[in-house]
Structures are given as C-alpha cells and as structure tokens.
Amino acid sequence: MTLLAEHITATTRRRPFLATGLLGLALMTPLMANNAQARELSVSTVLSDAFPWGQAAEKWAELVKERSGGELTLRVYPNAQLVAGDQTKEFSAMRQGLIDLAVGSTINWSPQVPELNLFSLPFLMPDHAAIDALTQGESGKQVFAAIESKGIVPLAWGENGFREVSNSSRPIEAPEDLKGLKIRVVGSPLFQDTFTALGANPTQMSWADAKPALTTGAVDGQENPLSVFDVARIDQVGQAHLTLWHYMADPLIFAANQRVWKSLNEEERTLLTETAKEAGAWETAMSREGNAQRLTDIESRGVNVITLDEDAMQAFRDATQSVYANWTPKIGEALVETARTEVAASR
Ligand code: X2X
C-alpha cells in the first residue's frame, strides 16, 4: 500500500467523524460507525518494542487503554513505517497530519527544529544528571516551546541513550583512530560536522539501511546507544570495537499533531499528557538500569569495549570545538548558554 493509501485507510477506520470524501466513507467499518466514541490514534516510532524506545510507546498505549476504559487507544507503528523508513521525515509527517502522535528522537526531528541540535552537541552532557538537568530544566522548556512553535504539541521526555561509537577495524582511543573510517550517521547535518571534525568519513543513512551497510562493509562503523547495539546484535555484523565515549545522548519526545490535540477534550489531553510522562519516566529509568547488564553481554560476545580516561576524553572534546562554532548560532546562543549553566549546576 502506498503511504497515502495506508494513511487514508488508517485515518478513516479510526476517526470516522474526521473522514473526508467518499473514499473515507466507503472505508468506514460498521463497527466504528456504531461506536463513534471509540477513537484510535497512530503513534510513530523508529525502533520496535524489542528496544526501550518501542517499549516506551507500548507502555504509553497500555496506560491510555487502561485509563480511558478503552475509549481511546493508541496503535504503535514502529520502524518508521508511516514515513516509509525515512526517519528524518517523521516530524514533518506528524505536522502534516499523516501521523497523530509520535515518540521520536531529538536527532530525527532536528532537521525541522534547529533547537533540538542542542542535545547533539558533542560532549555537552557528561552523565545522566546532565541530561536530566536539561530536559527537566529551563533548556527543556525552551526546546518544547520551539517544537510548539512548529505546530507540534510536545508532552513528555524519554531517552534513547548515550551513543557510543563502534567499528570493524580498530580500537578508537583517540581522534586519530577515526581518521578515514566510514561511519554511518543519521541524516542530520550536525553529525556530518562532528565526524568530519574528527577526521572520519561520515555517511548519512536511515537506520533501516544501516545494518545492511555494516554487513556488506559499505561502512566501517556506527554510533548508537548500548541498548541498540545489544538488541540489534551489531556485534554480528563485524562491529568488533566499541568505544564508550558518551559523546551525546538523544532524548525521546512524546508529542502530538496540533489538530489532533485540539480535537481532544480536556480530560483526554490530561490523560495523554500524564500517561506520556509516566511512560517516559518508566522507560528512561529502565533503559539506564539495563546498561550494566547490556555491557556485560556485549563483552561476553567478544566485543572489545574501550573506556577512555580524562585526557583521552579531552582530546575528543578539543577536536570537536568547531561543531560548537558552527551550530551555536543555529541552535540559539541563549539556549546553548542556558544549557551550559544547567549542566554546570548539575555537577
Ligand atoms: O537511526 C538511529 O541511529 C537511531 C535508531 O538511533 C535513531 O533513530 C536516532
């Protein structure tokens, strides 16, 4: 089915009162026609419920179903299928109404919301306390305001996690070790700059294309959180070396299309917001707690896990300073300054 046909079918089946045109009427099922109260909303995610990210969306759906007594249901569409795998189009698709709700990564939405690049600034957030300081602080408020100004209603935060770099050919212990390595990155321009600054050869592609590219050796390396490396069994596609450099972490954001949001009553909005916050907090804690075991499992599969001392970390920080020069004006001087202050206060 084409994306549009799929959307029309999905939308009309779920929201008969919003259906437009004859096609919509023709596709209305008798059940829904008799039960105009029940409503199903689509939720887009990039990763399935084999990963914490997909589990965050499923948890949200579970809580909504439970508390609405079945009157409101969320149906999760993983693997960026509502945007045919093109994850950096998710935000636009939600804005256009092709997607009702999403649990999305700040990286994937950053091409449309420049402020979201804040979280991708290399080595800005050293630990979980720093991430929380931003998402739960003034920075988070400003970022949510930026999302809202683009026609999307942000509801809550979750977490994909600290992204660690892996590759098939050598241990990465210093910026020089990245020289010439082809690294798969998400199609978000800041990553092009970070890996270029480090002397690597960044290649932008979707997650759907990443594993095949690692398998064939079209790329040498990738960067993703431990949960993704573990669940997707990235060790099985030749990624023998994994460096824990914590260079950035991508929060997840629970959000809604504005028209969908306006069509909900006050009670439904409160329900969606509270359950999103609960699901996000649950997933963030679960994902963080799982990391120690994941690391043990990854090492037991023979992956060479590299940790860096303070000097080595500083060398990476120094090598990526140009990213701040290029991106601070795009993100907003004031926001970057606020974030730096919040990170410092969390130390
Ligand atoms: O594509 C990736 O690397 C992933 C799955 O982590 C994101 O969607 C940001």
Question: Is 98 inside any structural domain?
Answer: yes
Going from the Cα of 207 to the center of ligand 1, the distance in angstroms, rounded, reads: 6
pLDDT > 90: what percent of the chain? 89
SS (H, E, C) the chain: CCHHHHHHHHHHHHCHHHCCHHHHHHHCCHHHHHCCCCEEEEEECCCCCCCHHHHHHHHHHHHHHHHCCCCEEEEEECCCHHHCCCHHHHHHHHHHCCCCEEEEEHHHHCCCCHHHHHHHCCCCCCCHHHHHHHHCCHHHHHHHHHHHHCCEEEEEEEEEEEEEEEECCCCCCCHHHHCCCEEEECCCHHHHHHHHHCCCEEEECCHHHHHHHHHHCCCCEEEEEHHHHHHCCHHHHCCCEEEECCCCEEEEEEEEEHHHHHHCCHHHHHHHHHHHHHHHHHHHHHHHHHHHHHHHHHHHCCCEEEECCHHHHHHHHHHCHHHHHHHHHHHCHHHHHHHHHHHHHHC
Task: Please check the confidence at residue 163 and state whether its pLDDT lies above 80.
Answer: yes
pLDDT digits (tens, 9 = 90+) for 254-266: 999 999 999 999 9
pLDDT surpassing 60 at residue 2? no
Evaluated on CA atoms 253, 257, 262, 267, the torsion sign reads negative
46-65 pLDDT, tens digit each: 999 999 999 999 999 999 99
- Judge whether residue 25 has pLDDT over 60: no
Note the pLDDT of residue 18: 40
More confident residue, 10 or 201: 201
Within a domain: 149: yes
Determine whether 44 is exposed, middle or buried from the number of CB atoms within 10 Å of its CB (0-12, 13-18, 19+).
Answer: buried
Asked whether 100 and 42 are in contact (CB, 8 A), the reply is: yes
Residue 224 lies in a domain: yes
- The number of distinct structural domains making up the chain is 1
pLDDT at residue 9, as a whole number: 41
Q: Which residue has the tokens 């075991």?
A: 293
> Does residue 249 register a pLDDT over 70?
yes
Per-residue pLDDT at 38: 82
Q: Which atom belonging to ligand 1 lies closest to the Cα atom of 250?
A: 9
Q: Rounded to the nearest whole angstrom, what is the distance from the C-alpha of residue 267 to the centroid of ligand 1?
A: 33
Query: With a 6 A CB cut-off, is 87 part of the ligand 1 pocket?
Result: yes
Give residue 15's pLDDT band: very low, low, confident or very high (50, 70, 90): very low
Q: Is residue 196 part of a domain?
A: yes
> Would you say residue 23 has pLDDT above 90?
no
CA of 48 to the centre of ligand 1 (A): 12
Q: Whose CA is nearest to atom 8 of ligand 1?
A: 46
| Spacing, Cα 122 to ligand 1 middle (Å) | 16
> Hey, whose CA ends up nearest to atom 5 of ligand 1?
207
Q: Is the pLDDT of residue 121 over 50?
A: yes
pLDDT above 60 (res 14): no
Helix axes 333-346, 138-149, angle to 10 degrees: 150
Residue 220, domain extent? 38-346
Res 16 pLDDT > 70: no
Q: Which residues of 213-227 are buried (b: 16+ CB within 10 A; e: fewer)?
A: bbeeeebbbbbbbbb
Contact 271 CB / ligand 1 (< 6 Å): no
Residue 298 forms part of a structural domain: yes
- pLDDT (mean) for 130-148: 98
- Kindly report the protein residue whose alpha carbon is nearest to atom 1 of ligand 1: 207
Residue 100 has pLDDT above 60, yes or no: yes
The pLDDT, as a whole number, for residue 40 is: 98
Please report the pLDDT score of residue 186 as a whole number.
97
Q: Which atom of ligand 1 is nearest to the CA of 47?
A: 5
Asked whether the predicted pLDDT for residue 11 surpasses 90, the reply is no
207 C-beta closer than 6 A to ligand 1: yes
Which residue has the least CA distance to atom 6 on ligand 1? 224
83 within ligand 1 shell (Cβ under 6 A): no
Q: How confident is the model at residue 24 (pLDDT cuts 50, 70, 90)?
A: very low
For residue 264, what is the domain's CATH number? 3.40.190.170
CA of 216 to the centre of ligand 1 (A): 19
Give the mean pLDDT of the chain: 92
Ligand 1 contact via 46 beta carbon (within 6 Å): yes
Residue 28 lies in a domain: no
User: Over 80: is that where the pLDDT of 98 sits?
Assistant: yes
- The pLDDT-based confidence of 330 (bands split at 50, 70, 90) is very high
pLDDT (0 to 100) of residue 105: 98
Q: Which of 22-26, 227-231, 295-299, 332-336 has the lowest mean pLDDT?
A: 22-26
Distance between CA atoms of residues 317 and 247, nearest Å: 9
Q: Identify whether 139 is part of a domain.
A: yes
Compute the distance from residue 26 Cα to the ligand 1 centre, in Å: 38
Does residue 10 belong to any structural domain of this protein? no
Higher pLDDT, 317 or 34: 317
